[in-house]
Every structure is written in C-alpha cells, then in structure tokens.
Amino acid sequence: MTKTITDVICPFCGTLCDDVEVVVSDDGKKLLEVANACVIGTEKFLHSQSADRVTKPRLRQADGSWKDISYDEAADYTAKMLAGAKKPLMYGWSSTNCEAQSVGNEIAEIAKACCDNTAAVCHGTTLIAVQDIGLPTCTLGEVKNRADRVIFWGCNPAHAHPRHMSRYSIFPRGFFTGKGQMSRKLVVVDPRCTDTSKMADVHLQIEQGRDYELLNALRVALKGEWLPDSVAGIPAEKIREVADILKSGRFGIIFFGMGVTQSLSKNHNIDEAIALTKDLNEYTKYSIMPMRGHYNVTGSGEVFAWQFGFPYSVDLTRGFARYNPGDSSSIDLLTRGEVDAMFTIGSDPGAHFPISAVKGIAKVDSVCIDPHLTPTSGVSKLHVPVAFNGVECGGNCYRMDNVPIDCRKVVEPPEGMLTDEQFLVMVRDRLRKLKGAA
C-alpha cells in the first residue's frame, strides 16, 4: 500500500507551488511518485531518494581525501571555526526554512559574522532599487484574478519558473479574468527569442544591456513626448505601440528577472522599471514583482529584516548590524580577501559566484552544509550533508510575492541524518560556550 500526500510545497523556485502530490511507501520511508510539479521540482523530490547520497559529514584531509566524521565532530569544527574567525561569512540561506535561518542568525550574532543570502547574485540590486524608490506590488493571486496586461522583462519563466505562467500569470482563469489567456496581453522584453517570448503578443528583442534606456523611453512615450527613431534597438513606433498597450490595461503587472538585475546598469535598471510602474499608476493600476529564484530567498530576506533590519548583505562584525552593499556584500568581501572563514548553507556559491570569489572560499577554513555534492562542497574543508528541506523536513518559506507557506515533510530522511535546524542548534550551543555568550 502507498500513501498520497496532497498540498505538498515544492522547494525549488520562488513560485513555491503548493499543490504538488507525492506518493510515498506505506512506512513513509520511500518517495515513489510526484505529480503536478514541473520537471525540475519532480527531479528535486526524486533525487532525494538516490542511493549514492552522502549521509555523513566529511572532513577533508591533508592529502585531499575525505574522512567521514560524526555530526558532533562536525559541529565542533564549525563552532571552533566561527569562534576563531575575525570576519566569518555566513552565506546562503535561500534553500532552507525560516526556522533554520533564525538559528543561523543567532549564530551570526554570537560570532559577529557577515551574513548574506543569494540575493547577492540574484535580486540584491532589486533591493537596492526598492530602497531608492519603493515598490508597488501585489500577491500572485491578484495577477491571476485581475491582470489584463502582463510584462516579462529580462526573465524567462518558461525555463526558470516553469509553472508560474499556468498558476498565476498567463493562463489561469481568475475572478475578473474568466477567459484566461484571452483576457491578457503579454509583452516580453528579452535580447533572445526565448520560449517565453514565443508566447508573447509583443516581443521587444532589446539590445542586451540597454534596459534602462528602453524603460526610460516607455516613460517618455506614456507622456507622448519626443523619442529618437530607435532606442535600445527598438523603433520608436514600436515603443509607442507598447506604451499604448500598457496604458490601456485595467490591471497590469511587470515581472522582471536577472536580465535587468545582472546587466551593467543593475539597480538603475530597476529604479527605472519601478518608476515606469509608478507612472502607469497615474493612468490605471500597475504592480511590479521580482521573479525571485530560490524557493526561500525571500524568506531569508524577511528574517534578516525583522531580526537585523536589513534584507541581505548584513555585517555584524562591529557587534551591531551594518548594511552597505559593495562593502558588506559577499562577492566583494571574498574578492577583497577579507573573509577568514566561510560558512555556506542552502546555496552553492562555488557554482554561482564568479571564480575569483570562489577562490576566496577555497583559501580559508570552510564548512558547506548541503544535501548535495556541489562545487562549494568540492572546495570546502568540511561538508555536512543534511536532510532535504521541504522533502524530509517541513518549515516556513516565503514565495516570491512574500506570501509565507509552511513546507511539508513527506518522507523520512535516511537514518541518522539531521536537518539544517538541528545541526545549527548544535553549532549554536557549542559556540555559546566557546564565546561565553548569554
């Protein structure tokens, strides 16, 4: 006999689908089938079952080989490393739950660490822009129920957020959008002809890196002012046509992604996108939303903010919280060689940081807490495998629109394996003793 668990939350991307169904064996130890999830989510659930999984902490030896150690020894190593470091960096947090993040923050406070999440390489520049100019946004259900204009700017949900379009943004039939896709006009802005742009009513194949200019041109077009013949490779008449499409909607939404956050103008691109949204609210109703990547990067920002006051890039080394991206941000800390111990959890900077920053990790004492083998574990001194959050343990997570959803445990982790939170509690208690903290 098998059991079907419904309303399961998928711990992959910021779409945080919560309608997944999982079939498990009667004893709750084996995960057999996954329904409703996208191909990536399905793989995530199924891979947790692989036979070649690392189940014990491993410490790298002088000859480069791994030696299995116990969780107690791993917690000792981690606590000592943090206690001894002057400027430890505790990075990641986006693929774990808020409970673990909370314990992590206690550790960071005792260790006087720098703490950062994957917004560092994702929507960090969005946060800077929001701090400059604000953010008119909404929940994804608003998009489903009201939106008749949908803009994807520099993002490709067909690949990165596969169920976003069917659950929220393009296809669903909502309260005021009974005709589903027929109720909506879709505009995609991307330098490539992506699988998302292929569905669009209008695709603006923008010259790469010219987002600021095009956003600004749209604001000009809204006001009916003069435009040059072409901006960012898009003819003026096309820009005016799109401005009219945007203006004529009753409820519009701009989703944006790495195309604007990671190209040269960075936060200025997003400033301009938010300014466009604000301008559109003079005519009709508009919202804008970052397409957050990791399933709980948003939650990490929330927990940082209510505990320390800032959403990422937090420096506690002075005993109180400071925030100064460019100075206190992970990439800069690592490339400047300021970090003397690296603690990674729920993320893979080894794969997703520029190699010059990864070299900064490899040079120092380091711990990588991750169920997978990754480039980060490959350059770390200690690898601590843990249970898969959202599969083998529950815990709260925040969707890209900041809606919290409590993940479900659907299957038991391999015997003896700890969760992120359990391991962090061991580290915290040891660190308290070492530091004589209250």
316-345 binders of other proteins (CB under 8 A)? 316, 318-323, 325-327, 329-332, 335
Judged by beta carbon, residue 227 or residue 328, the one nearer other proteins is: 328
Judged by beta carbon, residue 240 or residue 352, the one nearer other proteins is: 352
Could you tell me whether strands 58-60 and 234-235 are parallel, antiparallel, or unpaired per DSSP bridges? unpaired
CA-based diameter of the chain, in Å? 70
Per-residue contact string for residues 219-248; x = within reach of other proteins by CB under 8 A: ------------------------------
Supply the minimum distance, in Å, between the C-beta of residue 389 and other proteins. 13
Contact by Cβ (8 Å): 217, 232? yes
Interface pick for other proteins out of 78, 94, 287, 344 (rule CB under 8 A): 287
Residues 256-285 that bind other proteins (CB under 8 A): 258-259, 261-264, 266-267, 278, 281, 284-285
Ramachandran sector of residue 416 (left: φ over 0; alpha: ψ -120 to 50; beta: rest):
left
Taken as a whole, the chain contains a residue count of 438
Please identify which residue in the block is written with the tokens 């990439």.
331
Write out 18-51 in H/E/C secondary structure. CCEEEEEECCCCCEEEEECCCHHHHHHHHHCCCC
Residue 4 interacting with other proteins (CB under 8 A): no
Residue 384, beta-bridge partner list? 369
Interface pick for other proteins out of 305, 317, 340, 422 (rule CB under 8 A): 305
Site size for other proteins (CB under 8 A): 139
Interacting stretch for other proteins, rule CB under 8 A, among 82-90, 179-187, 190-198, 411-419?
190-198
Judged by beta carbon, residue 227 or residue 270, the one nearer other proteins is: 270
Task: Round to whole Å and give the CA distance between 60 and 430.
Answer: 22
Task: Round to whole Å and give the CA distance between 345 and 422.
Answer: 13
Interface pick for other proteins out of 234, 358, 369, 431 (rule CB under 8 A): 358
Residue 436 interacting with other proteins (CB under 8 A): no
Residue 216 interacting with other proteins (CB under 8 A): no
Instruction: Kindly state the tokens that stand for 305.
Output: 């903010």
Judged by beta carbon, residue 227 or residue 389, the one nearer other proteins is: 389
Task: Round to whole Å and give the CA distance between 274 and 211.
Answer: 13
Closest CA to 94 of 288, 303, 405: 303
Residue 295 interacting with other proteins (CB under 8 A): no
Supply the minimum distance, in Å, between the C-beta of residue 71 and other proteins. 22
Q: Name the 3-class secondary structure at 242.
A: helix
Please identify which residue in the block is written with the tokens 């111990």.
341
Task: Round to whole Å and give the CA distance between 288 and 215.
Answer: 13
Judged by beta carbon, residue 131 or residue 230, the one nearer other proteins is: 131
Residue 83 interacting with other proteins (CB under 8 A): no
Supply the minimum distance, in Å, between the C-beta of residue 257 and other proteins. 8
Contact by Cβ (8 Å): 381, 350? no
Interface pick for other proteins out of 31, 75, 89, 127 (rule CB under 8 A): 127
Contact by Cβ (8 Å): 14, 292? yes
Please identify which residue in the block is written with the tokens 């420096």.
315
Judged by beta carbon, residue 227 or residue 361, the one nearer other proteins is: 361
Instruction: Kindly state the tokens that stand for 426.
Output: 């061991």
Interacting stretch for other proteins, rule CB under 8 A, among 68-76, 106-114, 223-231, 337-345?
106-114
Judged by beta carbon, residue 145 or residue 216, the one nearer other proteins is: 145
Interacting stretch for other proteins, rule CB under 8 A, among 2-10, 79-87, 179-187, 212-220?
2-10
Q: What are phi and psi of 264, to 5 degrees?
A: -55, -40
Interface pick for other proteins out of 272, 315, 348, 392 (rule CB under 8 A): 348
Per-residue contact string for residues 368-407; x = within reach of other proteins by CB under 8 A: ----xxxx-xxx---------------xx-x--xxxxxx-
Residue 344, beta-bridge partner list? 91, 368
Cα distances (angstroms) measured from residue 337 to each of 72, 141, 287, 333, 358: 30, 44, 40, 6, 11
Residue 55 interacting with other proteins (CB under 8 A): no
Supply the minimum distance, in Å, between the C-beta of residue 370 and other proteins. 10
Report the run of H or E that residue 98 belongs to, with start and end.
helix 98-111
Interface pick for other proteins out of 27, 28, 351, 433 (rule CB under 8 A): 351
Interacting stretch for other proteins, rule CB under 8 A, among 24-32, 80-88, 222-230, 299-307?
299-307
